[in-house]
Amino acid sequence: MLYKVLVVDDEAPVRDLLSDLLKREDCKVTICATGEEALELLKKDTFEVVLLDIKLPGISGLEVLKNIRDTNKNLPVIMITGFGYNEDLIGKSKEFGCCGYIGKNMPVAQIITTFKQFVKDAKNGE
């Protein structure tokens, strides 16, 4: 197994696709639809990486990230968003301690490559 990943996205077709893509890379994937669910799952289980959508119903992805950082400084969290490359969101995500940012406008192959690179860098302490 490559990584144990938590995928958080409110749109089922998107999170299923991301899940399938990661499973093909030999990841163990858990999926959920909201930030609240994600925080609950993180309390119960241990993950090696979180792929977190920014725009979520209820508490936003950025707030979830902030919450994670309150308890866990090292868990790699990668933000993903339909807004594509957005400097404001990238800035905020970095400020709250994400280890990477992926736009949903990327081709799927590139999404996975970027994801793997971010996790690798995070684990290497970069």
Partner 1 sequence: MGLAIKETKEILHDVLDNTGVVVIYLDVNRNIVFCNKKTEKLTGLKHDDIIGANWLKVLFHGNNSIIKQEMFKAVLDECVRHKREKDFEGVILDSDNNQRLISWNLTPIMVENNRVAGSILIGHDITKIREAGNSAKSIDETLKDILSSLKDYALFVINLEGNITYFGMGSEIMLGWNKKEIIFKHLNLLHNADDAENNLHFILEQVRLFGKCEKETTLISKNGEAIPVILTANKFLDSDGKHSGYIFIAKDITERKKLEYQAFQGEKLAALGLLSAGMAHEINNPLLVISGRSALLMEENLSQKIKNDLYLINSQAERIQKLVDRILKYSQKTKPVFTAVDINEAIEFILPFAQYSNLPNTKVEIKNNFEKNMRPIKGDIHQLQEVFLNLIINAYQSMPNGGIIQITTRNFEDHCALIQIKDTGLGISADNLKDVFMPFFSTKNDGEGLGLSICHNIIKNHNGAIELESQVGRGSTFTIKLPFI
72 or 86: CB nearest partner 1: 86
**Rounded to whole angstroms, how far apart are CA atoms 25 and 38?**
22
CA distances from 85 to 28, 57, 82, 103, 105 (A): 28, 21, 9, 6, 8
Contact between 116 and partner 1 per CB under 8 A: no
Contact between 11 and partner 1 per CB under 8 A: yes
| Interaction mask 38-77, partner 1, x per CB under 8 A | -----------------x----------------------
**Rounded to whole angstroms, how far apart are CA atoms 23 and 3?**
10
For residues 76 and 48, is the Cβ–Cβ distance under 8 A? yes
From the CB of 70, what's the least distance to partner 1, in Å? 28
Contact between 92 and partner 1 per CB under 8 A: no
Contact between 85 and partner 1 per CB under 8 A: yes
For residues 11 and 34, is the Cβ–Cβ distance under 8 A? no
Where along the sequence are the contacts to partner 1 (CB under 8 A)? Answer: 11, 13-14, 17, 20-21, 24, 55, 81-88, 103-105, 107-109
